[in-house]
Structure 1
Amino acid sequence: MLWKVALLSASDKGSRGEREDTSAQVIRELMEEELEGEIVDYRIVPDEQDEIRAALIEMADYFQADLILTTGGTGLGLRDVTPEATLMVADRTVPGMAEAMRTAAMNRTRRAMLFRGVCAIRGRTLIINLPGDPKSVHELLMAVMDVLPAALLQVKGLGREIDA
């Protein structure tokens, strides 16, 4: 199945063209190689909660993305507001996926516990927050890659419910 994927980078410098968005390139490659994902929308917005929220709503509701992957804005800085914006648009959360990502990263560095990213569902769209660092993006995304197809099928109402 070909999945519709949207990428959203939250970065003040990236939105001003002062920083190359290398994390989005990592995501793009992983989606094409590992998930059979087609990028249907990609944008960079500043670290502003209202702009992140509006982009997530448009990607989920207008572009009808199956999966939205965000990068950036998940740390402890004052302008790191991607998790809050995600929760504002979410119908439900998927805490196990975020826990799995944090656990995988903590095997490498204890600083991973400072990652505040969330995973959530809006309508029929799964939203996953990722950090801004390309190496961490790869590591955390690979931590959940094997369950993504089943998760996406369930969110779409096409998959079998799984009891833990």
Structure 2
Amino acid sequence: MTESVRPARIGILTISDRASSGVYGDESGPAIRSTLEEILTSPWEAVACIVPDGLESVRDAPVDLVDQGGCDLVLTTGGTGPAPRDLTPEGTEAACERMMPGFGELLRRRSLEQVPTAILSRQTAGIRGKALIVNCPGKPSSIRVSLMAVFPAIPYCIDLIGAARLETDRTVVQAFRPT
């Protein structure tokens, strides 16, 4: 008998005052989705939402995506810089039970290979229940670079916390799982 695989639920959370109010269209959320479509071979479904910048909205959205939406992974985009309303790291930390600082370290290191202003980024990651929450950059062209950097560790991380299994296209991203 073949065991059925539960599709992973992946939250794609765009954090932007202007995109949430309709001043311009969201390009970052679709960039995350496009990169996931390239990387993943296992079944998954996206749960996308857009919220304004600010501590409460950024804290509450991942909590809802995980607790009510059943997401195994939440990828945020936007709000990680030094501007006064860029509170994504603070909101992420408030939503998480444990922080995973290595993700932010790698994201900054990889971004610094592209632009010197990457040092201004405050991206982080953490765990809420059986879900991993990772802050991605807000610039659509930087999202793929960032996800390619951290995705080798994401499937094993969510295995360890009990989330749905993710498989990657090994020609795109080689997920690392110790034997």
1:55 counterpart residue number: 61
Looking at structure 1, the residues matched to 122 and 28 of structure 2 have their Cα atoms a distance apart, in angstroms, of 17
Looking at structure 1, the residues matched to 26 and 164 of structure 2 have their Cα atoms a distance apart, in angstroms, of 34
Looking at structure 1, the residues matched to 24 and 57 of structure 2 have their Cα atoms a distance apart, in angstroms, of 19
**Rg larger in 1 or in 2?**
2
Task: State TM-score, norm by structure 1.
Answer: 0.90
2:102 counterpart residue number: 96
SS at match of 1:57: helix
Which of residues 7, 30, 49 in structure 2 aligns to 1:25? 30
Structure 1 unmatched runs, 5+:
none
Structure 2 unmatched runs, 5+:
166-176
Q: Write the deviation string for residues 11-31 of structure 1: whole angstroms up to 9, x where unpaired.
A: 111011111111111110111
Looking at structure 1, the residues matched to 164 and 31 of structure 2 have their Cα atoms a distance apart, in angstroms, of 28
Distance change >3 Å, CA 69–CA 30, structure 1 → 2: same
Task: Please state which structure has a larger fraction of its residues in helix.
Answer: 1
Task: Report the aligned-residue RMSD.
Answer: 1.9
Q: Does 1:86 align with 2:97?
A: no
SS at match of 1:146: coil
Q: Does 1:143 align with 2:146?
A: no
Task: Between 75-84 and 38-47, report the one with greater CA deviation.
Answer: 38-47
SS at match of 1:129: strand
Equivalent residue letter for 1:84:
E
The number of equivalent residue pairs is 161
Looking at structure 1, the residues matched to 50 and 164 of structure 2 have their Cα atoms a distance apart, in angstroms, of 31
Looking at structure 2, the residues matched to 78 and 132 of structure 1 have their Cα atoms a distance apart, in angstroms, of 16
Moved >4 Å (runs of 4+): none
